[in-house]
Amino acid sequence: MIKLYKTTLLGCASVVLLTLSAYQIKQAETPNDPVYDNLDKSVDPRTDFFKYANGGWLKRNPIPAAYSSWGIGNVVQEEIRNRLKKINEDALTANAPKGSITQKIGDFYYSGLDTVNIEKQGINPLKSQLDLIDQATDINGILNAAAVLTTTGTRNFIGSRVGQDAKNSSKMMLQLGQSGLGLPNRDYYFKTDARTTRVRTDYKTNHLPTMLKISGWDEQQAAKGAESIFKIEQFLADSSRKLENLRDPYRNYHKMTIAQLNTLTPNINWASVFKTLELKPVDSVIVGQPEYYRAVNTALKTFPLDDWKAYLRWKLISSYAAYLNAAAEQESFRFSGKVISGRKEQLPRWKRVLDTENGLMGEALGQLFVKEYFPATAKLRYTEMVEAIRQAYREHIAKLDWMSPETKQKALIKLNAIHPKVGYPDKWKDFSTMVMDRESYAGNVMRARHWAYTVNINKLGKPVDHTEWGMTPQTYNASYSPSNNEITLPAAQFTIPGVKDSEVDDAVAYGYVAASTIGHEITHGFDDEGRLFDAKGNLKTWWTATDSVKFNQRAKVLADQFSSYIVLDSLHVNGKATLGENIADLGGIVLGIDAFKKTQQYKQGKLINGLSPMQRFFLGYALGWLGQERDEALANQILTDVHAPGFLRVNGPFSDVPEFYQAFKVKKGDKMWIDPAKRVKIW
């Protein structure tokens, strides 16, 4: 549930004064109320609920220059950064034993802040890999270099990883997926609107040649190399699937023997590639997009050797630019930060280093983080909330009028089998083999990436480790895994900035956490993609054909609803690509409502700051999407992300929920109104 934000309105209308008694009651304000304090009372909630709920905060908090968006997730992240900074600063001076977590944290932080040494080293940390690329004399040399780069985290045309077999979730398999593009996704190579064209032109004529010059090439080499790189990437993009087409697990599942893979790509010696990838012997592989690898096979014979050397050089320098000298780092930020995301300036260096460290060894930091900042009472509260949502879902399934008893029974089995991971792991990752020192920032990053790569490939052929977390406790996000049939709810996700968990009333907590996070993630198990996996996490048909048709009919209405929303200029939401998230949002809201109705706060009906419990529930949900986004970042999101903008993740599903109409007296003619016959009800 990646949080992204925008304040663009669904439409403007004159503000209508509400006649709700809750808005007319005069009473003493309860201080430090996380939803009341954010209101913009000049906005009618029936016109634009997102702006009504969050507009006061948005007016007071413009996007800082170093950010492409700014909202509650950023504020939580700032709190977390400050806490992690203290952990790192303590580690710097701890004189900890070599090999300890504290030593590794301290040395990594030191190397990232040591700009004198970073500048002195220039691009030398990449020398051995650059030499390997330059020394390639044929296509096998290019394949060998690409495989070596893959082992240290440089994405290129080989998109390999080890993951669960979608049709046999107990087995870890080698997987190959489309990869290799330098622009955010395939659409950037072909769309002709002015905004995308500007990005593509800058990439071809400015960013690529500049980065190649930084890598050591002269101007003529860089100009020619940039042309070659773009031709290769555009060729690969033409055989890359669109965002919405990557969401169908059946269409993206092609299990092959190595002999079949060799037939698909006769120009690639996979036995040699797999050996360089440090893989154990494999007899089969799952290929997500065979047409992409067919295109790679053709490209290897079509484009000259020098073109491929330029391509791999570019992949390497771009992958490590943020950890090299100022010239590389600043040009990388100019394009990815400014051109793509609209940011005006970089974050302070200490924040950039912390973010890098968090991405590479976040669970090491997490061990220290939860000791100080996540009390047992909070873990208990949200563990119990998971079960409240699960019970609400059971009741919803039982009452469905469109699902057969046969499918209902299997849906309940899957629901009951969902495993929740709350707060932090019971078993932490072992970082004992990760080596950190104070000699080279890029060198530390390279070793950490290789460590993570090795951890991944060593899963091949081994039992699935269900204790492993894919997120760190200090991550402001959450997830559902179809293959594991589990939800992951990190400690940071429950945080409301500046408010202790014990001070958050149930109405707000059930909207902010139970609906937008717990209910959302559980519903992912039953969205258009998640529903295709059974209780054991296997891609398997368990619905009756009739029930599948009925589900798809309802889902299409939601997809069409979101496709009708214009977000920026002529950009519409991609209703098909965002369908899973939109189903999860709507499901989370209706489950959260029913779970909340069982609480004492709802039953008592007392007002807080003039707001009823149900009104506070909806405001609590909207709080989870509080924020705004620059136009450049929003345009990028529409093209590359399966999540709709934050303001539509509030206004869109609320327009389908009867309790919202009741709580805020929404009537026909209001902007938030959808005719009852056109409202979506799935779960």
Q: Tell me the per-residue pLDDT of 23-42, one tens digit each, with 9 for 90 and over.
A: 333 344 677 899 999 999 99
Q: Are 407 and 548 in contact (CB under 8 A)?
A: no
Average pLDDT value for residue range 636-647: 96
- Position 314 pLDDT exceeds 50: yes
| pLDDT, mean of residues 609-613 | 98
Q: Which two tokens stand for residue 151?
A: 């082992």
State how far Cα 64 lies from the chain centre.
22
pLDDT reported for residue 370: 87
At 29 the pLDDT is 63
| Region of poorest pLDDT, from 371-380, 482-491, 548-557 | 371-380
Rounded mean pLDDT, 251-280: 97
**SS3 (DSSP) at 258:** helix
The pLDDT value recorded for residue 28 is 47
Residue 54's closest CA among 67, 68, 73?
A: 73
Instruction: Please enumerate in sequence order all residues whose Cβ is within 8 A of that of 128, keeping only pairs 6 or more positions apart, or say none.
Output: none
Section 536-550 average pLDDT: 97
Q: Which residue intervals of the chain bear CATH 1.10.1380.10?
A: 123-323
For residues 110-117, give the mean pLDDT: 98
Residues of the chain with CATH 3.40.390.10: 21-78+357-429+468-678
- Secondary structure class of 170 (helix, strand, coil): strand
52-106 tens-digit pLDDT: 999 999 999 999 999 999 999 999 999 999 999 999 999 999 999 999 999 999 9
The whole-model pTM stands at 0.91
Condensed to tens digits (0 to 9), the pLDDT of residues 370-404 reads: 887 788 888 899 999 999 999 999 999 999 999 99
Measuring CA to CA, which residue among 109, 116, 112 is closest to residue 89? 109
Which pLDDT score is estimated for 373?
79
420-432 pLDDT tens trace: 999 999 999 999 9
Q: Percentage of residues in the chain with pLDDT exceeding 90? A: 92
* pLDDT above 70: residue 7: no
pLDDT at 21 over 60: no
Report whether 624 contacts 649 (CB < 8 A). Answer: no
Say whether pLDDT at 18 is over 80. Answer: no
Confidence band (pLDDT; 50, 70, 90) for 6?
Answer: very low
3-state secondary structure of 197: helix
CATH code, residues 21-78+357-429+468-678: 3.40.390.10
Nearest to 495 by CA among 423, 440, 555: 423
Polymer length of the chain: 683
Is the pLDDT at 626 greater than 70? The verdict is: yes
Mean pLDDT, to the nearest integer, of 311-333? 98
Query: Minimal CA–CA distance to 323: which of 92, 78, 70, 153?
Result: 153
pLDDT at 600 over 80: yes
- Tell me how far apart the alpha carbons of residues 256 and 251 are, in angstroms, rounded to a whole number: 14
pLDDT band for position 441 (cuts 50, 70, 90): very high
CATH architecture of the domain with residue range 123-323: Orthogonal Bundle (1.10)
Which has the minimum average pLDDT: 3-12, 239-248, 434-443, 456-465? 3-12
Q: Is the pLDDT of residue 369 over 90?
A: no
With cut-offs at 50, 70 and 90, classify the pLDDT of residue 362: very high
Q: How far is CA 180 from CA 160, 244, 638, 672, in A?
A: 11, 19, 21, 42
On average, the pLDDT of the chain sits at 94
